[in-house]
Structure 1
């Protein structure tokens, strides 16, 4: 028996946001994401800006969902396609300090990082620009109102070593990645950017 798909209104009532980049503009789904990933996955992402990655493949596996694993690539920006975000590409320069703001609404203690990711290979370019090896989004600190500011409002420096690797729009993203250890859930937000060769 195939799993039943929830109507969008019902799906919205069953999911809760956990965290996402609130600034700069993060990738959002549109027609290209629907074509690659299917309506069920897009509905989940629209209903919940975080929609942890582990929860999406099951939606894609449902009969008639329109999911195409090769073109969707859920482990890169949750499958959200660059073609839907062409109008929101940020232009940075080597060495520029970029402010990133993250909305954390439900904590899951774990690890996190912000990295430049090559979208062709879905691999981090160089080392993470900023990382929290443990203690990110700790539940006790969150509910006590003591989440460190540098977990939700911080700056990263655009590397001076990228050469022309990120010169073309869509080639690279700034990715905020967070893994909640107890929840066993991965959250990702991506910012499209270009940086001219130094």
Structure 2
């Protein structure tokens, strides 16, 4: 009986999601993402906005609508800026931003929150927050809640960006988490602008 329950729990972990940004609004797919990444990828993200990235390349490869040059699945899970123009946040240098994470199934690993240049998919400067280990440790989770600083935290917008993120779509704030035991990556992006004052 116990082994059956453990098998079902493990299956549920594979089927259901794991984590995403709850606030501010994260990128979600629409027509532009469907055009770039294909219907299969979009259906998977819509079905479970908390799921990991690793399953998406296989879905994309089987979809005739997938355009690898336009759909970078390792940047915001391929979700396109064009679908998210209405959710662009406007920040000032030095402004504190509160971020809440919906973390449904923990997997111990490492995580960070960073500003990403969307043209290069590279971190600008250093991570705003970094958990080099012990993030979302499932051994600490069961019967309890995760430490607040892993699901409800604040970041400060760097004062050194200049005009690098002044144009909507050029930068995102990305929450990225890698479950080392599960070998799964989770990422969510917030579109924003910040202009030099």
- TM (norm. structure 1) is 0.91
Structure 1 runs of 4+ with >6 Å offset: none
Give the drift of 1:144: 2.8
Q: Distance in 1 between matches of 2:110 and 2:89?
A: 26
Give 1:67's aligned residue.
66
Is the counterpart of residue 160 in structure 1 residue 143 in structure 2?
no
Asked if 1 retains the 8 angstrom alpha-carbon contact of 2:76 and 2:189, the reply is: yes
Give the drift of 1:65: 3.4
Matches within 5 A, 1:1-198: 15-62=15-62, 64-198=63-197
The number of aligned residues is 184
Measured on the aligned residues, the alpha-carbon RMSD in Å equals 0.9
Give the drift of 1:16: 0.6
Give the drift of 1:55: 0.6
Is there any run of 5+ residues in structure 2 with no aligned partner, and where?
1-13
Give the drift of 1:146: 3.9
Q: Distance in 2 between matches of 1:197 and 1:136?
A: 33
Q: Distance in 1 between matches of 2:51 and 2:43?
A: 10
Q: Distance in 2 between matches of 1:59 and 1:65?
A: 10
Asked if 1 retains the 8 angstrom alpha-carbon contact of 2:17 and 2:52, the reply is: no
Q: Distance in 1 between matches of 2:44 and 2:51?
A: 6
Q: Distance in 2 between matches of 1:31 and 1:149?
A: 35
Q: Distance in 1 between matches of 2:122 and 2:194?
A: 18
